[in-house]
Structure 1
């Protein structure tokens, strides 16, 4: 093996080897796809030099990829994840400096380490130019094999460590996400059963433990949602937001309504125009968290002020203020960081972290000031209109679209629109009974839904998947009035596919209620399905009953 190489004068006429390394790259692609070997790219316009470099650096734990030109190198760089690029400076058409400048202008290749090699001038200005375009080192030919191997070892080791960290982080986030999603199914059964018994039981000795079950279930549901939000943020996809025109004041009123037992403590000040476009559900989440913290961390009975200022044309500001002791000084610098909450028994310490992510995703800011003398004040500033997709993403006139844009809690804006309509009929017991087909692959959810619907006088048919649902309809000649279906069924089947199949068989738009374990399922936003609504698991008994009645009517 040679210890050093020098630039040759020309490319051999018989050479058919490393030009773009296409055949060798394919073989290496098959191997690296299974092993994720670090890739070292060598770029030189002289084929003999490529062979020499490849011979010096060949090892079992590294994949060597070669290119005879800057353009061929760019193709490889955009296609592969490269741990180190060894680039000859003097090349025709595109020299090494030009290639490096192009690499630094592309996000995928911006941070690929570059080692320049050259047989040219050793002038300091030439060397400095190499460092200016992003080189980590600059070597002169003849290149000492031991020096080159040492430098490659460093970057290959760094790449291996990076891949290990990425894999560990990916596995952790996937595990947390899957765990959080799958926990919703048994929680749905627990909460629905507890609420069902509570709604019908007059025995106070039974009601107290059931209330405890419901409260613990609600707390667990909040934790699961926070885990999933953290997973979305950490995986890089971010929070899924959609903008809907709304009066911010009505969102504040809904938040206060959620804290009915503390309603007398809240005072609201509104000035200016409070209309705009935001993600209603997410803004509710932010204000609910801030209001809950204000109630929790102020003296009993102490007032909580929510002030909405809409006097600016392009922005809206909201302030949540409470008295009492300020935030401990040790927490102030890390208040918006994850897992830094004051009381871990109330949650995971993710609330304010997620609040900040939601506000920032809207293009806004959130700040706070706190002292023992004046209490704590959170200040939110939001652009009056955001650029997220709205109901039009679902298709004009889609009932599913309108429902999907609503907050998760049926105690919200929907309640106002139905206060004198369907909801009153439900409260008065004037509920319409119907034939309902339930499709869910989780037996606990299926059984609890079947029990609930039977108690309300509905005729219930239950199936574990779409095939069984279609068989029930075909075998019994039953024409269900509506279907309740899980969004994610076994073997990757989507509930919307089941709805479409049933509608084709029945010849009409069968009303459908979609239950999903993830309220921000991206696929939902690309489907316009009429006569359909969506609820997130765990769905509360009240919102489930109301949704069923609206679809039956």
Structure 2
């Protein structure tokens, strides 16, 4: 802020109107506003309403005189720092001037007033006021800048933490991808090398129909594992770009889940578990059948993976205008802390020697269900298994 832009307010107090007009004429300029008061009471009222650069007080006034007004000003927080100049026609007795200084005056003028002295003194106090205001603005600006810098620094620290977390997630993800992709690839490579060895030895017995069927089944499982990994990564990309497609059609949810469980027979057997399916009625609605199958597959895969070889219960029913799918296992359970993060990208439940996968299944599942205007939740206690519940509205919002 430029000094010339700071408007100064001046207060003059005298019980004679002609004195006020004369003094006002001396000190008035475009960059100043002069306020006049005919008594100490009027002056006090103005002092409470405005911020003054200085006050010029006549000493000899009826009622409260200038010295008493000055003492009141010095005792009030709002006015105690206003420079006071006394004006008196009582002569130049030293003790009278000293009384003025004791009352808080910074200067003393005698009548008749010296025009040049009055103008000079007022100019000095106005300039001091402007410099003080400019300094205050600079201090406030510096303080505001300091607060903004502290806020920016805090934001930078948060951003740095987020970036470090993102880098760790990226490194962890690349490590997981490398491991998960290598597993089916290693299986396919070993199968291929084994067949090449049998072919090199003309071992036709290794290619009987039963053995060929087993080879094809193994290959298919490894290829499906690779496809699932690739599809999960593609789905994450679609979700980030808002291109996850939902194609609703009318179907029976109970029938779809029943068929899905049949296709899981080999995985259920490999997990040395069993699945109990409960359905009370036909549950028909409009959803994306492929995507709902994807969600249930993720939940069932996790239940078998973390279910400690104990039975898994799946049920489909209607409650409160929503289709409900429950998948409950009796395995290791999920801590309250982990329940808050398992629906995030690349997050997996720790504490089990069967941990595998990219940690994307629940993240993708939540996005799919959200796209259907539904919800997915988890209820679990460590060591007591977990219940995942999917709720889908029977009637989709238009």
TM-score by length of 1: 0.34
Answer with 1 or 2: which has the greater Rg: 2
The structure in which a higher percent of residues are helix is: 2
